[in-house]
């Protein structure tokens, strides 16, 4: 589904990532973990087109997408969510999701402006679709709230609903549980599972080990910009190098 090969990223004199390669299988939930500064978010930013890597390639479904800007990736079925949620704060919750469906709108820019009556029908169709995603994320009752006024946890759910509205095939989540309490985290785990059941491949960077071990099929461990290990949650838990990296070397 998604392959990264030989990704190296150098910022000035600092090597943030060095020759990182792994593959993500269709339908899996893959966790990317590692201590702070391991390069997880940098890797995400490269995959989703926010940074351009110094070298290496990113391949999505057999197509090299290395230098694609985010909007083209979204059209190819890749979306992401942010650690510090990025919403359209001045819009309502429903409008946020509707904008997410923009790429699925059959109506181009100018044609939209020229054929207003048709686009009213389009708008109605999109509104219906957006409500469906709010339902899925369990925030239907907040549809008319201004997004900027949402508490953090619900903002996160909205960001996920908006990402789903793009109808992605793969979804990258940057620390989805950050800032959530344990109850919300549990609900999030359920939500991520339900997203996978729709056939969407999921990659997540996460610090909440309980969540990662609970929902992930595979885990990739980064440390100091390099891939340290890769495997099932059980394999990772038993991997000595991983334990050493997290807890410190026992001489």
**Residue 116 is a binding residue for another protein (CB under 8 A):** yes
7 or 147: CB nearest another protein: 147
Residues 194-233 touching another protein, rule: CB under 8 A, are none
- Report in angstroms the alpha-carbon separations of 186 from 112, 153, 174, 179, 193: 42, 12, 17, 13, 11
Reported as type and span, the H/E element at residue 117 is: helix 116-137
Per-residue burial over 26-60, b if 16 or more Cβ lie within 10 Å, else e, is eebbbbbbbeeebbbbbbbbbbbbebebeebebeb
Nearest 5°: phi and psi at 12?
A: 55, -120
How many residues make contact with another protein (CB under 8 A)? 38
Residues 60-79 touching another protein, rule: CB under 8 A, are 69-71, 74-75, 79
The interface region with another protein, picked from 88-96, 184-192, 220-228, 240-248 by CB under 8 A, is 88-96
**Residue 105 is a binding residue for another protein (CB under 8 A):** yes
Q: Smallest gap, in angstroms, from Cβ of residue 209 to another protein?
A: 27
Distance of CA 144 to the CA centre of its chain: 25
Q: Smallest gap, in angstroms, from Cβ of residue 176 to another protein?
A: 15
How many other β-carbons are positioned within 10 Å of the β-carbon of residue 200? 21
Per CB under 8 A, the list member of 12, 62, 109, 249 interacting with another protein is 109
**Residue 137 is a binding residue for another protein (CB under 8 A):** no
119 or 140: CB nearest another protein: 119
How many other β-carbons are positioned within 10 Å of the β-carbon of residue 120? 10
109 or 247: CB nearest another protein: 109
Residue with tokens 């985290």: 185
Per CB under 8 A, the list member of 101, 173, 191, 229 interacting with another protein is 101
Q: Smallest gap, in angstroms, from Cβ of residue 157 to another protein?
A: 15
| CA–CA dist 140, 221 (Å, integer) | 36
Nearest 5°: phi and psi at 241?
A: -60, -40
**Residue 139 is a binding residue for another protein (CB under 8 A):** no
Residues 6+ apart with CB under 8 A from 228: 34, 221, 222, 241, 242, 245
**Residue 180 is a binding residue for another protein (CB under 8 A):** no
**Residue 146 is a binding residue for another protein (CB under 8 A):** no
Q: Which residues bind another protein (CB under 8 A)?
A: 48, 50, 69-71, 74-75, 79-80, 86-91, 95, 98-103, 105, 107, 109-110, 112-113, 116, 119-120, 122-123, 126, 162-163, 165-166
């Amino acid at each position: 589904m998604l392959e990264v090969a030989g990704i190296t990223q150098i910022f000035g004199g600092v090597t943030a990532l060095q020759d990182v390669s792994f593959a993500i299988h269709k339908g899996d939930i893959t966790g990317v973990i590692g201590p702070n500064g391991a390069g997880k978010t940098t890797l995400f930013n490269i995959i989703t087109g926010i940074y351009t890597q110094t070298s290496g390639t990113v391949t999505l479904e057999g197509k090299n997408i290395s230098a694609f800007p985010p909007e083209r990736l979204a059209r190819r079925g890749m979306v992401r969510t942010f650690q510090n949620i990025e919403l359209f704060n001045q819009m309502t919750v429903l409008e946020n999701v509707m904008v997410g469906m923009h790429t699925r709108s059959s109506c181009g820019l100018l044609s939209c402006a020229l054929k207003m009556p048709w686009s009213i029908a389009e708008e109605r169709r999109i509104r219906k679709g957006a409500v469906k995603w709010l339902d899925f994320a369990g925030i239907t009752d907040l549809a008319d709230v201004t997004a900027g006024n949402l508490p953090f946890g619900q903002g996160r759910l909205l960001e996920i609903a908006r990402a789903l509205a793009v109808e992605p095939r793969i979804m990258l989540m940057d620390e989805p549980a950050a800032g959530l309490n344990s109850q919300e985290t549990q609900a999030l785990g359920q939500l991520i599972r339900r997203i996978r059941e729709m056939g969407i491949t999921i990659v997540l960077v996460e610090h909440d080990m309980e969540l990662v071990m609970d929902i992930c099929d595979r885990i990739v461990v980064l440390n100091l910009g390099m891939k340290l290990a890769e495997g099932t949650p059980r394999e990772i838990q038993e991997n000595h190098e991983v334990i050493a990296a997290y807890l410190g070397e026992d001489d």
